[in-house]
Chains A and B, each alone.
Chain A
Amino acid sequence: MNWLNAVLQGLLLGGLYALFACGLSLMFGVMRIVNLAHGDFAVLAAFLAYSTVSGTPLGILGATIVVIPVFALLGYLTQRTLIQRALQTGPLSTLLVTFGLSIIIQNLLLQGYSADTRALPAGSLVSASLKLSGQVSISYLALLTFGLAVVVLLGLQAFLSRTALGRMLRATADDREAATLVGADSRHLYGVATAIAFATVALAGLLFAMRSSFDPSIGPTRLLFAFEAVVIGGLGSLWGTLLGGMVLGLAQTIGAQLDPALTLLAGHVIFLAVLAFRPQGLIPARSTA
């Protein structure tokens, strides 16, 4: 049945959205800022992978192995140079800096790659699917994406709760000054958070590029989806982000079943409904500072 298909696709899509969202959520949790260029960095990663695959002997896996660490480094540097300065200037500055970056990235990509859509060749992974019954099948890529999302979230949670660095990140998020007094250099820790955020959003961008075509302008929509997933799931909860992503994905695919033009609107409406009736999200965080 097409409906069952739609439901399954939507739930699995949630994994991709959770991957987009976890970086946004981490940066907001630690630094209290939203990176308006979040989605654009994902698109940048996709284009970088595209060029790597078409320009070098590296395949898609090789490109992934190259792009993700590069983006982690890019995130650390972006934080230490631009974002840190903006943080010190004032609350509006980070919004502006990231908005400016968004415009710059989109237009540089437009200049370099034109507005044509591309796709990342993932080969058999894209087309192959698992047939569950006559009309229900799930693509291996969707399964892989969801699986990777869960692994990343598990890893992130383990990092935050078990490692010293993760503990200091949480401490800095609670009380930056007190963290300084126990020896935490907040600039370095913010850099680490941003590096993780950029790495996860790069992975999300690559996985997205493997399943859909992409062009320089789709960044902002990815940002909005990530944002919606975080709000629906509940600020401050990693697994809430996965749940939020799944709810969003489900809303979109069911909306698409009703009318393809309703896809985006359905997701937005669910977001607004959560905002109206359960603003703390599905899994509210334990209240802290």
Chain B
Amino acid sequence: MTTLLEVAGLTVHHGQLAAVSDVDLSVAEGEIVAVIGANGAGKSTLLGAVAGAHRASAGTVTFAGRDVTRLPAHRRVAAGICLVPEGRRLFPSLTVEENLLTGRYRGRNGPWTLPRVVDLFPWMAQRRRQVSAQLSGGEQQAVAIGRALVANPRLLLLDELSLGLAPVVVRRIYEVLPEIIASGTSILLVEQDVGQALRVADRVHCLLEGRGVLAGRPADLSVADVERAYFGLRSSPALAGEAGPAPDAEPVEGGSR
């Protein structure tokens, strides 16, 4: 499988705080890669940097062989990277249809047309003219994904799909991911819900305080591995009696096989 996205040594600062520190990550064509981690671990910032919303202070982002680290955010859509931002961020005064159409503004031609997106989320057919501010959370999430799909990205970035949504709604949203992959788009997603991420991803990265602490296939990682990486507990046989995070701990790295 060819590598579509290559992130190397990425560091992103918010002011003086390094939200992302020296992270390496890659996404191959046709893959779903998930980034998990606690609140404030830097997941959304990482995704934002790939989308161009945040400036990288160090490191590189290479997409389809091209260095896009310094490419302005508004040019990345044409390059093939689309972000579905955290909290949906639909345009509230625009209708469902208009929101979807904005995705076409700088989009590329490809399998995803407006009718095909409506097929993916059939409820949209009746509600095209509805102002998006009136939609429910799950519906807004669907429109946000549709808006990104309509641009026919090669890499779709999904930031916290499950945020604020009921579990049954989240499951339904995740059910469309295989069809997106089948159409030729790869996915890099950030997810708070670890179980959901492990179920759907081909590979998983775990971030802790901005650093990558674990990476591998879900099948190869044990629950204990993930827990340790997520919470930053040091690997030690005598975990009983030792509580609390140790920020100075050495990163526990699983190899990516």
Contacts and interface: CB of A to CB of B under 8 A. Distances in A.
Contacts of B131: 286
Contacts of B8: none
Contacts of A180: 53, 73-74
A178 B91 contact: yes
Interface stretch (B99-107, B201-209, B243-251): B99-107
Interface stretch (B16-24, B77-85, B176-184, B188-196): B77-85
Interface string B151-185: 10000000000000000000000000000000000
A166 to B, nearest CB: 10
B111 interface: no
B74 A288 contact: no
Contacts of B104: 164
B53 A184 contact: no
Contacts of B83: 181
Contact of A288 (B53, B72, B93, B107): B93
A170 B74 contact: no
Interface string B40-82: 0000000000010100000000000000000011111110001
Contacts of B93: 170, 173-174, 286, 288-289
Nearest to A172: B91
**Interface size of A as a range:** 20 to 34
A183 B91 contact: no
B97 to A, nearest CB: 10
Contact of B91 (A164, A174, A186, A286): A174
Contacts of A178: 85, 89-91
B94 A167 contact: yes
A178 B103 CA distance: 11
Given A171-B102, A182-B151, A183-B105, A289 B53 contact: no
B77 A174 contact: no
Contacts of A183: 74-78, 105-107, 151
A175 B101 contact: no
Contacts of B90: 178
B94 A170 contact: yes
Interface string A175-196: 1011111111110000000000
A274 to B, nearest CB: 24
A168 interface: yes
B98 interface: yes
Interface in A179-217: 179-186
Interface string A269-289: 000000000000000001011
A186 B75 CA distance: 12
A167 B218 CA distance: 42
A182 B77 contact: yes
A173 B94 CA distance: 11
B102 A179 contact: yes
Given A167-B98, A171-B91, A181 B105 contact: no
Contacts of A167: 94, 98, 101-102, 105
Most buried by B among A174, A180, A183: A183
B78 A182 contact: no
Nearest to A185: B74
Given A170-B93, A183-B107, A164 B101 contact: yes
A288 B133 contact: yes
Contact of A175 (B73, B89, B148): B89
A171 B101 CA distance: 11
Nearest to A288: B93
Given A167-B94, A167-B98, A184 B89 contact: no
A68 to B, nearest CB: 27
B161 to A, nearest CB: 16
Contacts of A173: 93
Contact of B74 (A171, A184, A286): A184
B105 A168 contact: yes
A178 B73 CA distance: 10
A170 B90 CA distance: 12
B92 interface: yes
A71 to B, nearest CB: 27
A288 B73 contact: no
B147 interface: yes
Nearest to B48: A181
Interface of B: 51, 53, 72-78, 82-83, 85, 89-94, 98, 101-107, 131, 133, 147-148, 151
Closest 10 CB pairs of A and B: A183-B106, A183-B77, A178-B89, A288-B93, A174-B91, A171-B91, A185-B74, A180-B73, A288-B92, A180-B74
Given A178-B89, A182-B105, 18 more contacts: A164-B101, A167-B102, A167-B105, A170-B91, A170-B93, A170-B94, A174-B92, A175-B89, A177-B85, A179-B102, A180-B74, A181-B51, A181-B53, A182-B77, A182-B151, A183-B107, A183-B151, A184-B106
10 contacts: A174-B92, A174-B93, A178-B85, A181-B53, A181-B73, A181-B85, A182-B82, A183-B76, A286-B93, A286-B131
